[in-house]
Amino acid sequence: MMYRLIADAAMVVHFAFLAYLALGGFIAWRWRRTIWTHLAVVGWGLISIVTGVDCPLTYVEDWARRQAGLEGLPPTGFIDHYLEGVVYPEAYTNVARLAVAVVVLFSYVGYVLRRQ
C-beta atoms surrounding 55 within 10 Å: 20
- How do residues 22-70 score in pLDDT, each as one tens digit? 999 999 999 999 999 999 999 999 999 899 888 999 999 999 999 999 9
C-beta atoms surrounding 101 within 10 Å: 15
Q: Give the per-residue pLDDT at 44.
A: 95
pLDDT at 80 over 90: no
Q: Give the per-residue pLDDT at 79.
A: 87
* Predicted TM-score (pTM) of this structure: 0.89
Q: Give the per-residue pLDDT at 23.
A: 97
| DSSP structure string for the chain | -HHHHHHHHHHHHHHHHHHHHHHHHHHHHHSTTHHHHHHHHHHHHHHHHHH-PPPHHHHHHHHHHHHTTS----TT-HHHHHTBTTTB-GGGHHHHHHHHHHHHHHHHHHHHHHH-
How many structural domains is the chain composed of?
Answer: 1
**Domain boundaries, position 34:** 2-115
- How do residues 52-62 score in pLDDT, each as one tens digit? 888 999 999 99
- How do residues 2-29 score in pLDDT, each as one tens digit? 999 999 999 999 999 999 999 999 999 9
Say if CB 21 and CB 45 are below 8 A apart: yes
